[in-house]
Amino acid sequence: MKLRPLPALAALTALGLALTGCASGTGAAAGDSAPNADGTPKALRIGYQAIPNGDLIVKDQRWLEQALPHTKITWSRFESGGDVNTAMVAGGLDIGLAGSSPVTRGLSAPLNIKYKVPWIFDVIGDNEALVARGATTIAALKGKKIAAPFSSTSHYSLLAALQGAGLTESDVTLVDLEPPDIQAAWARGDIDAAYVWTPVLGRLRTTGKVLITSRELAAKGKVTADLAVVRTAFADKYPKALTTWLQQQDRAVKLVRADKAAASAAVGRQLNLPPAEAARQIDELVLLDARQQQGARYLGTAQAPGGLAADLHGAAEFLTAQHKIPAVPQLSVFQQGLAAKELGDAFPR
């Protein structure tokens, strides 16, 4: 499913019916139906991505299914945060994973999605990068064809990398492709470079040269992260279910630290990778536990000047300059978009 400009309302409605119907099995109002007797939701619809972080461990170990036995939990795979945004607008998901760039767009006009960020899956490091063939510098990509999933963190990072090298979008040909399509286009020789994440990145690196990584861009002030988004209505109606979800995510991060072999095996099963390769890809990410995320730098109630809300606001300034969103929202929009209270309720100090 390729990301395009926001579809018409009718198309979004149709998409919402399709997603909720096939994902939850209980119709479009699955996430908003009357709760179970224990106050848990009858259905929880989760949108995940093939990224080697704790979310895949929770899925693999079926921890949510065990913790919420009366809730029908459906995991639906998405290829990019832009697609998660589209599903959220259509009412087809309750919780999803999207990069900081799609979340910035989701919280900004014209989308103004009614969701908030309760968890940081990972701070992106070497697991997203710009890979090229026939070029050893970013400047040498002038006139080349470069692929990235539009509106993703990779797209944001690609534009930042080009700008840093003195290039504009008009100096290259940008192609909107999802990761599996990038891999196929690379194999056919249809593209010269791509900014993408693992596991596809790992395959491109075998025949291409990495020109810059998201870790390097972060050091230059272009921080990106994979974030959880939860529908505000769902979070308000089912706080205990959200607390349970958060606790399982924290459990996964702690498993990575305490038993890397078990964590790598779980991620490997989900990505069809050998455990050793899964372990290597996990190490390319920065995983934060709940206590770390409650700090002012990330999701704390008292946001530091350079906190996550400021990162999102900075991304909005960049996306506005690139004409990807019409205007930069106030910083307060992003501060209010962080579910700091919900995280604090799940892990009281």
283 SS3 class: helix
Which bin fits 212, alpha (ψ -120 to 50), beta or left (φ > 0)?
Answer: beta
pTM, two decimals, is 0.86
- Other beta carbons less than 10 A from residue 297's beta carbon: 17
With respect to residue 3, please indicate whether it lies within any of the assigned structural domains: no
Out of 219, 239, 268, pick the residue that ends a domain.
219
- Within this chain, do residues 26 and 119 fall inside the same structural domain, yes or no? yes
Under DSSP, is residue 143 helix (H, G, I), strand (E, B) or coil?
A: coil
In a domain, 2, yes or no: no
Boundary-marking domain end, from 168, 199, 219: 219
In a domain, 292, yes or no: yes
At 343 the pLDDT is: 96
Query: What pLDDT tens digit does each residue of the chain (349 aa) get?
Result: 333 333 333 333 334 433 433 333 333 445 567 899 999 999 999 999 999 999 999 999 999 999 999 999 999 999 999 999 999 999 999 999 999 999 999 999 999 999 999 999 999 999 999 999 999 999 999 999 999 999 889 999 999 999 999 999 999 999 999 999 999 999 999 999 999 999 999 999 999 999 999 999 988 888 899 999 999 999 999 999 999 999 999 999 999 999 999 999 999 999 999 999 999 999 999 999 999 999 999 998 777 777 999 999 999 998 998 889 999 999 999 999 999 999 999 999 8
Q: What is the pLDDT of residue 31?
A: 54
Is residue 191 domain-shared with residue 323, that is, in the same domain? no
Say if 270 falls within a structural domain: yes
Q: Based on the fold, state whether residues 228 and 333 are members of the same structural domain.
A: yes
Structural domains counted in the chain = 2
Residues 48 and 196 in one domain: no
Q: Are residues 89 and 231 in the same domain?
A: yes
Q: Which pLDDT score, from 0 to 100, does residue 16 have?
A: 43
Tell me the residue range of the domain where 139 lies. Answer: 128-219
Query: CA–CA distance from 16 to each of 28, 83, 102, 279, 310 (Å)?
Result: 7, 12, 19, 36, 31
For residue 225, give both structure tokens. 């992260």
Q: Are residues 111 and 177 in the same domain?
A: no
pLDDT at 24: 33
Q: What is d(CA 210, CA 94) in angstroms, rounded to the nearest whole number?
A: 36
Residue 4 lies in a domain: no
| Residue 33, pLDDT score | 75
Tell me which DSSP letter residue 185 carries.
Answer: H
210 and 233 part of one domain: no
Label residue 9 exposed, middle or buried (CB < 10 Å: 0-12, 13-18, 19+).
exposed
Residues 161 and 244 in one domain: no
Residues 58 and 172 in one domain: no
Domain end marker among 219, 241, 275? 219
Same domain, 240 and 110: yes
Q: Are residues 188 and 330 in the same domain?
A: no
Task: Check whether residue 178 and residue 317 sit in a common domain.
Answer: no
* DSSP 3-state of 45: strand
The residue type found at 141 is: L
CATH no. for residue 245?
3.40.190.10
